[in-house]
């Protein structure tokens, strides 16, 4: 006869196993930039242009744009679709979540407002999009306001096959807060052993950290021509706020963002490119290039191009030249003071630019 006490099981002392179902996804954004829309207007019904292929979760995709509509039934609209172009058995069934919308040239203001949709792509179902993507009169008006430049943005999430795995007890390691600690050490001035005088402002810092991050600082602080350790080092030809941003990067590996300077953001980034080049901070230089390429406009493109040429920023130079390639954009840029600076400073770049425009017709 069983002992009744054994029926009272203490589950806390039993061996415990567990499993979990995991459904993973991969999300990516692809911007298809449509320049000189006025040249595409009238291309004809069922005539399209398409993006380059892009890959998400191992599958290849295209954005297809019909400026005059997919068929005659939709001639009053422009049409746009996402196409799944991967071939083979692995492409027979792909679950996705999609948004497809048109944006203005800054990539921020959204022109259309289509919500996210779920769609399963297969060998016989390769397209998802909108026959009535945007009304043509509205598109023409917006194109004129944006110098013929528009963006079709696809946000694509590919949902992977679910899988089950054994769940193991794990120790959660907290994220590193080294950058925050170094930044606080810099702001507090704790252990600082060097002071810089920049435009009448004093900045305390740590010699070893500066030398570890910049070979230029290493030479200045520890090389044969090093500054005396007791001396306050004066730095000319750089604004205090730019030097502060430079130090912020050295301590945190990030760009200092000041919401009070949104209007002058391009100018601040341009000065920071010069400073990063001066002190051999290549990563900071590329980060500034990237941000500058995102905020190119008619007013700043010429000065940004001069900067790119003088400081060997090849990707930024290419972005500026591409931005000015449409004849109407170039004409608008030529009316700015920055363009006069470009002509005087970089005559060879001007020749490249004009040759490219003449070839494009």
Q: pLDDT by residue for the chain (361 residues), tens digit each?
A: 444 544 455 555 566 677 778 788 999 999 999 888 888 888 999 999 999 999 998 899 999 999 999 998 988 999 999 999 977 666 678 999 999 999 987 777 889 999 999 999 988 889 999 999 999 999 888 888 777 788 999 999 999 887 777 766 667 788 899 999 999 999 999 899 999 999 999 999 999 999 999 999 999 999 876 655 557 899 999 999 999 999 999 999 999 865 444 556 888 999 999 999 999 999 999 999 999 998 888 999 999 999 999 999 999 998 998 888 888 888 898 898 888 888 888 888 877 777 776 665 5
333-339 contact pairs (CB < 8 A, 24+):
333/298, 333/301, 333/302, 336/298, 336/299, 336/302, 338/299, 338/300, 338/301, 338/302, 338/303, 338/306, 339/302
pLDDT confidence of residue 108: 76
Sign of CA dihedral 32, 318, 291, 106: negative
Specify whether the CB–CB gap between 69 and 78 falls below 8 A: yes
Ordered by where they begin, the domains of the chain are: 21-164 (2.60.210.10), 178-360 (3.30.710.10)
Specify whether the CB–CB gap between 304 and 320 falls below 8 A: yes
Residues linked to residue 117 through DSSP beta bridges, in sequence order: 98
What is the edge-to-edge ordering of all strands in the sheet holding 25-34?
25-34, 150-159, 94-103, 117-121
Q: How far is 87 from 159, CA to CA, in rounded Å?
A: 18
Q: How far is 24 from 15, CA to CA, in rounded Å?
A: 29
Whole-structure pTM value: 0.56
For 91-116, b/e burial (b = at least 16 CB within 10 A) is beebebebbbbbbbbeeeeebbeeee
pLDDT confidence of residue 6: 46
pLDDT confidence of residue 1: 44
pLDDT confidence of residue 230: 55
């Amino acid at each position: 006869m069983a002992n009744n006490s054994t029926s009272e099981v203490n589950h806390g002392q039993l061996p415990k196993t567990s499993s979990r179902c995991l459904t993973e996804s991969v999300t990516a954004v692809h911007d298809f930039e449509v320049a000189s829309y006025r040249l595409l207007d009238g291309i004809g019904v069922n005539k399209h242009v398409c993006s380059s292929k892009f890959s998400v979760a191992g599958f290849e995709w295209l954005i297809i744009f019909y400026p005059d509509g997919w068929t005659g039934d939709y001639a009053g609209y422009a049409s746009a679709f996402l196409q799944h172009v991967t071939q083979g058995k692995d492409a027979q069934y792909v679950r996705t979540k999609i948004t497809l919308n048109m944006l203005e040239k800054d990539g921020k203001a959204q022109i259309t407002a289509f919500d996210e949709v779920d769609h399963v792509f297969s060998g016989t179902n390769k397209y998802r999009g909108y026959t009535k993507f945007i009304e043509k009169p509205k598109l023409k008006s917006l194109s004129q306001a944006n110098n013929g430049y528009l963006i079709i943005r696809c946000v694509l999430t590919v949902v992977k096959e679910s899988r089950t795995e054994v769940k193991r007890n794990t120790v959660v390691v907290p994220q590193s807060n080294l950058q925050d600690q170094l930044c606080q050490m810099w702001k507090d001035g704790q252990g600082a052993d060097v002071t810089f005088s920049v435009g009448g402002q004093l900045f305390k810092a740590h010699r070893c950290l500066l030398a570890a991050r910049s070979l230029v600082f290493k030479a200045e602080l520890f090389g044969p021509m090093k500054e005396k350790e007791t001396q306050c080092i004066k730095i000319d030809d750089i604004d205090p706020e730019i030097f502060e941003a430079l130090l912020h990067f050295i301590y945190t590996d990030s760009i200092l963002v000041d919401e009070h300077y949104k209007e002058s953001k391009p100018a601040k980034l341009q000065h920071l490119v010069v400073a990063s080049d001066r002190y051999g901070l290549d990563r900071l230089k590329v980060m500034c290039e990237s941000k500058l390429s995102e905020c190119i406009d008619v007013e700043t493109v010429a000065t940004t191009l001069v900067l790119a040429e003088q400081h060997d920023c090849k990707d930024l130079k290419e972005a500026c030249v591409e931005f000015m390639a449409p004849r109407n954009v170039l004409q608008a840029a030529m009316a700015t003071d920055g363009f006069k600076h470009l002509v005087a400073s970089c005559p060879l770049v001007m020749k490249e630019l004009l040759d490219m425009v003449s070839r494009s017709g």
